[in-house]
Structure 1
Amino acid sequence: MVFPMPLSSLFLEFPPQSFQLERGMWMIELNGSDLSVEQMEKICYERETIVLSKASLIDVRASRETVEEIVAKGHTVYGINTGFGKLSDVRIASEDVDDLQRHLIRSHACGVGEPFPEIVSRAMMTLRLNALMKGVSGVREIVVQRLRYLINEEIHPVIPSQGSLGASGDLAPLAHLALVLMGEGAVYYRGELRTTDDVYQELGIQPIHLKAKEGLALINGTQAMTAVGVINYIEAEKNALQCDWVASLTLQALEGIRDAFHPSIHEARGYPEQSAVAARIRNLIQGSHLVTFQGEKRVQDAYSLRCIPQVHGATWQTLNYVREKLTIEMNAATDNPLLLEGGKVVVSGGNFHGQPIAFAMDFLKIAMSELANISERRIERLVNPQLNDLPPFLSPNPGLQSGLMILQYVAASLVSENKTLAHPASVDSIPSSANQEDHVSMGTTAARHASVVIDHVRKVLAIELICSLQALEMRGEERASPLAQQLWKSARTIVPVITEDRVFSKDIENMTSWLKDGSFDWGKWSSVKEGGGSSYVDNS
């Protein structure tokens, strides 16, 4: 199926080899090769337990033996017994190679800004662990076992969100992660912000003294941008599905023309995602006595109604692309150097460069911004008396009461801000490390901005839903489709009917939170199965 399944509402299918049953719990096995977005959602949102592949641990041990052989024989290999970046030509004495790793982590742990959300920190640890489980990074088994322990015990590093260029890896953010393995820095533990040393003492844990290559293996990678990217994708996919639902309410509230969703129109263009959106809308308006036929009230609707499948469908196309790139990156070896061919070949390269994820996050920003753009145009059509036959601004008493006038202002403000955030970060680059690292991806910046855009989309969608609920009631919600009535009933427990002006900020906040928590069964009609094209004309 080309159209992606929603992650929060449908049954999640995983490869059988990735799980084992223990004490009645499903546990996700990491082997460095087949970690999926669905599994990441289980780990990050449901705090699923992780186990490590025994076969992959053999590879981890083998790669470590190669590193120890290099140190013992005194071969010069970048990152093991040399400096870093522009200092790669500086040879490090064998007795100092362990100190080199400790200095690396401490000097690179210079991130700034607000910390990443705890869920991102958890995702980052999981992705770093999965990369190490590929067995090409040269770390000891104690390192991967400690990461597994921290994830399963929900001890999450506090990681500043700013400071990565997205090449040479997410150095600053991942250094703050590595600090925790050393017993330094700060963590979230059981809902509290505490020093790592304090938590380690409470649990009787000894800090890890990093040895040759291990510090570099922990920070050379794209796990910060990819972790943010995975969480972004999960939230964006949920947003996109909700946009289809809410748009179907607006279509009914404005007595939109159902003919624009005829399956043959969308088959004629050929985009599966566009056809899937149209099919979903047909199902969501099934049985409605509010939608109209072509020529019944007007010949054509405005684009914000008529082109819902084309615009929403294009966003789903982008989501498919983003999901593909994230899935590859989640299972990629992105540090440097890599110990390849069973440790026989040690090669320096550039897999830490985040360009693929930088592009993916920039594309995601643009695609999600468009969902907010078209949603805001539908809001305008709901509240503007020149564009419909409803009371001005859906006010209970127009003139004396302003109704939902200023909610459209808020939506317009958010979509305008999204336009600046959607500027691609990936087209920027700035040289670093004395021009040795002279091209960078800015992928982490792109991912952070995408998070803000997605949050704005959810707020705009909350405003559209508030407006469409009010308009539906003015039309008579009992005339809406059964699924619309189901959504109306659930949403009205969050935002009550508007009988007079009130402070709507709280309503927007509550509706936004409700959309985020995903408690409504948004995925019920995400996989559309129709018996031909007749459903679009069924007005029963």
Structure 2
Amino acid sequence: MNKLIIDSQHLTVKDVLKVSKNKAKVEIGENAYQKIDKARKIIEDIVEKGYPIYGINTGFGKFCNVQISKKELKMLQENLIMSHSCGVGDALPEDIVRGIMILRMNNLSKGYSGISRETFEQIQNLLNHEITPFIPEQGSLGASGDLAPLAHMSLALMGLGEVFYKGQKISAKKALEEEGLKPIHLKEKEGLALINGTQVMTSIGVHAIADAIKLAKFSDLSAAMTTEALNGITDAFYEEIHEIRNQTGQIKTAENMRNILKDSKNTTKQAEIRVQDAYTIRCIPQIHGASKDAINYVSDILNKEINAVTDNPLIFPENGKVISGGNFHGQPVALAMDFLGIAVSEIANVSERRIERLVNPQLSGMPAFLSNNGGLNSGYMIPQYVAASLVSENKVLAHPASVDSIPSSANQEDHVSMGTIAARKAKQIVENVKKVIAIEFLAAAQAIDIKDQKDNLSSTNRFIYDKIREKVTFMEKDRIIHNDIIEMEKLLNDDKFFEEIENKIDLKI
């Protein structure tokens, strides 16, 4: 059934993607309602008694010591959303924004934020009616959470700002009217409950890690196809070599390579053609494996953050306490996203070097740039340039964002994470790596045809080779290779293709 129930339970990356990408309907469970109601009652009691509590009846940031009169408390929350809606840049993609919304719902469902049922349900309404708030991608420091982008999300709940609806960018008010929905009016503490959190960096991270996990597996497959094209030596994947190194990702990658190549007639043993392969073939388990270990670490951090409570102040219904803390600080995600960017960059680095080995006649023993009529035709000369360009761009993007901090709010918020910048960079690196892997697959398939090796391919590689050739034919003479790369990238994005591979072979990560 294509739905997700939010009931204060543990969500996974797959759950988030079910809503963000596949547009599953969202339902709210009774357990979530009970927790929300308990926390809301505490907020209402505080308002009635007038105790000064941050964000409920005080100003924000440096204004935390300014107490707000009871009659102005609702205006305080609406002012917060409007004043903080100052993001800039292009719109975040629809799937990222839907991910933000379901993550925020999960956060609020835990019952530590003091949101009302009506406001909570309005996020559900937007998701189920496919009204996607316009959120500019730039402007978050990653502490106190993702304030500016989450404020733009919150505008739409109030019928303010702009949204994407039925393929158009229109006013939120008009979209709500079209679906028979009414704007909400924020109550005490609700504005802060909506924007204090790490859901923007986490949503970007969730989408990046899902692609990174797939790419880690595809990188083993593209490397295996290149290994066949270059008659690579399989002794380097011998199980005991990797067992005595004791690195998990390395052990799993070597196992993947053995399984992919087990029935290949193109690979060789040491000293049959050469004694050793270059590192980009021989050290595939060591290089890919290290990236996989990093990817698994990042995945663990994100799975924790998906289910984290990141609001401030936090309400503890069991004892009635309302305590200011710092769960909104994005440092755990910031460091993880920087690590992901570095780790995935390395997958492209080694892939590009394998592409070079395929197109360089001094290294491959094949016609230069995999063209049978070189000179008149340039063949795969420039795709290698493109891969090199992407790899170089990744090196710039992989510079850590989390090592930077700029004090804000008159030095009240004097250390920030830059986690959303780190997440955005990691996502771009992942997209770049996907293109490099696509080029390696194309070059490897071209090399296999030049050497007439397709009938000697392993069963796994033959399946992938045939799928490639359904989309991209052998390049007899020069053509617009951009189109080939686009087709190969579409194949890598095809969930059905990935599932078919997974059904054929159990690739470890």
> Aligned equivalents of 2:348 and 2:93: distance in 1?
23
> Aligned equivalents of 1:490 and 1:211: distance in 2?
56
Match of 1:487 among 450, 464, 470: 464
Name 2:143's counterpart in structure 1.
167
Name 2:397's counterpart in structure 1.
421
> Aligned equivalents of 1:125 and 1:41: distance in 2?
12
Would the aligned equivalents of 2:87 and 2:148 in 1 still touch at CA under 8 Å? yes
Would the aligned equivalents of 2:163 and 2:170 in 1 still touch at CA under 8 Å? yes
Is 1:527 the counterpart of 2:503? The answer is: no
- Secondary structure of the residue aligned to 1:425 is coil
Flag as ranges the 4+ runs of structure 1 deviating above 3 A: none
CA deviations on 1:130-183 (whole Å, 9 max, x unpaired) are 000000100101111111121122211111000000001100000000001101
Is 1:67 the counterpart of 2:43? The answer is: yes
> Aligned equivalents of 2:190 and 2:505: distance in 1?
45
CA deviations on 1:8-56 (whole Å, 9 max, x unpaired) are xxxxxxxxxxxxxxxxx25322233401112112222222222222112
Name 1:330's counterpart in structure 2.
306
Cα deviation for residue 519 of structure 1 reads 3.4
Is 1:396 the counterpart of 2:372? The answer is: yes
Name 1:458's counterpart in structure 2.
434
CA deviations on 1:330-388 (whole Å, 9 max, x unpaired) are 11110100001436110000000000000110000000000000000000000001112
- Secondary structure of the residue aligned to 1:255 is coil
Query: Which aligned pairs between 1:345-424 and structure 2 lie closer than 5 A?
Result: 345-424=321-400
> Aligned equivalents of 1:308 and 1:283: distance in 2?
14
Name 2:489's counterpart in structure 1.
512
> Aligned equivalents of 1:362 and 1:273: distance in 2?
19
Would the aligned equivalents of 1:462 and 1:515 in 2 still touch at CA under 8 Å? yes
CA deviations on 1:175-227 (whole Å, 9 max, x unpaired) are 00000110111112232222111111112211100010000000000000001
CA deviations on 1:102-156 (whole Å, 9 max, x unpaired) are 0000000000000110000000000001000000100101111111121122211
Name 2:445's counterpart in structure 1.
469
> Aligned equivalents of 1:87 and 1:277: distance in 2?
53
> Aligned equivalents of 1:528 and 1:219: distance in 2?
39
Is 1:302 the counterpart of 2:278? The answer is: yes
> Aligned equivalents of 1:246 and 1:155: distance in 2?
39
> Aligned equivalents of 1:341 and 1:262: distance in 2?
57
Between stretches 338-347 and 125-134, larger displacement belongs to 338-347
- Secondary structure of the residue aligned to 1:461 is helix
Between stretches 500-509 and 206-215, larger displacement belongs to 500-509
Between stretches 458-467 and 25-34, larger displacement belongs to 25-34
Would the aligned equivalents of 1:391 and 1:398 in 2 still touch at CA under 8 Å? yes
Is 1:146 the counterpart of 2:122? The answer is: yes
Report the AA paired with residue 64 of structure 1. R
TM-score, length-normalised on structure 1?
0.92
Report the AA paired with residue 496 of structure 2. S
Report the AA paired with residue 453 of structure 1. I
Name 2:198's counterpart in structure 1.
222
Is 1:197 the counterpart of 2:197? The answer is: no
- Secondary structure of the residue aligned to 1:493 is helix
Name 1:126's counterpart in structure 2.
102
Cα deviation for residue 525 of structure 1 reads 5.0
- Secondary structure of the residue aligned to 1:187 is strand
Would the aligned equivalents of 2:156 and 2:162 in 1 still touch at CA under 8 Å? yes
Would the aligned equivalents of 2:407 and 2:414 in 1 still touch at CA under 8 Å? yes
> Aligned equivalents of 2:291 and 2:335: distance in 1?
15
> Aligned equivalents of 2:197 and 2:32: distance in 1?
19
Query: Which aligned pairs between 1:84-95 and structure 2 lie closer than 5 A?
Result: 84-95=60-71
Would the aligned equivalents of 1:187 and 1:194 in 2 still touch at CA under 8 Å? yes
Name 2:80's counterpart in structure 1.
104
Cα deviation for residue 527 of structure 1 reads 2.6
Distance 1:110 1:343, change over 3 A: farther
> Aligned equivalents of 1:422 and 1:272: distance in 2?
24
> Aligned equivalents of 1:420 and 1:162: distance in 2?
18
Would the aligned equivalents of 1:66 and 1:343 in 2 still touch at CA under 8 Å? no
Distance 1:528 1:159, change over 3 A: closer
- Secondary structure of the residue aligned to 1:199 is helix
Cα deviation for residue 72 of structure 1 reads 0.6
> Aligned equivalents of 2:314 and 2:66: distance in 1?
20
CA deviations on 1:86-110 (whole Å, 9 max, x unpaired) are 0111110000000000000000000
- Secondary structure of the residue aligned to 2:485 is helix
> Aligned equivalents of 1:187 and 1:28: distance in 2?
23
Match of 1:313 among 285, 289, 312: 289
- Secondary structure of the residue aligned to 2:3 is strand
Is 1:256 the counterpart of 2:232? The answer is: yes
Name 2:242's counterpart in structure 1.
266
> Aligned equivalents of 1:63 and 1:118: distance in 2?
31
> Aligned equivalents of 2:168 and 2:65: distance in 1?
43
Report the AA paired with residue 357 of structure 1. V
Match of 2:478 among 501, 514, 517: 501
> Aligned equivalents of 1:517 and 1:185: distance in 2?
34
Name 1:10's counterpart in structure 2.
none
> Aligned equivalents of 2:166 and 2:286: distance in 1?
45
Report the AA paired with residue 484 of structure 1. N
Match of 2:55 among 75, 79, 99: 79
> Aligned equivalents of 1:409 and 1:364: distance in 2?
24
> Aligned equivalents of 1:394 and 1:255: distance in 2?
16
> Aligned equivalents of 1:224 and 1:180: distance in 2?
16
> Aligned equivalents of 2:495 and 2:381: distance in 1?
27
Name 1:533's counterpart in structure 2.
none
Distance 1:144 1:64, change over 3 A: same
Cα deviation for residue 528 of structure 1 reads 5.7
Between stretches 148-157 and 312-321, larger displacement belongs to 148-157
Would the aligned equivalents of 1:63 and 1:343 in 2 still touch at CA under 8 Å? no
> Aligned equivalents of 1:232 and 1:345: distance in 2?
37
Stretches of structure 1 lacking an aligned partner (at least 5 in a row): 1-24, 530-540
Would the aligned equivalents of 1:62 and 1:342 in 2 still touch at CA under 8 Å? no
Q: In the comparison of the two structures, how many residue pairs are matched?
A: 505
Between stretches 429-438 and 499-508, larger displacement belongs to 499-508
Stretches of structure 2 lacking an aligned partner (at least 5 in a row): none
Between stretches 101-110 and 502-511, larger displacement belongs to 502-511
Cα deviation for residue 522 of structure 1 reads 3.3
- Secondary structure of the residue aligned to 1:242 is helix
Between stretches 498-507 and 373-382, larger displacement belongs to 498-507
> Aligned equivalents of 1:122 and 1:490: distance in 2?
32
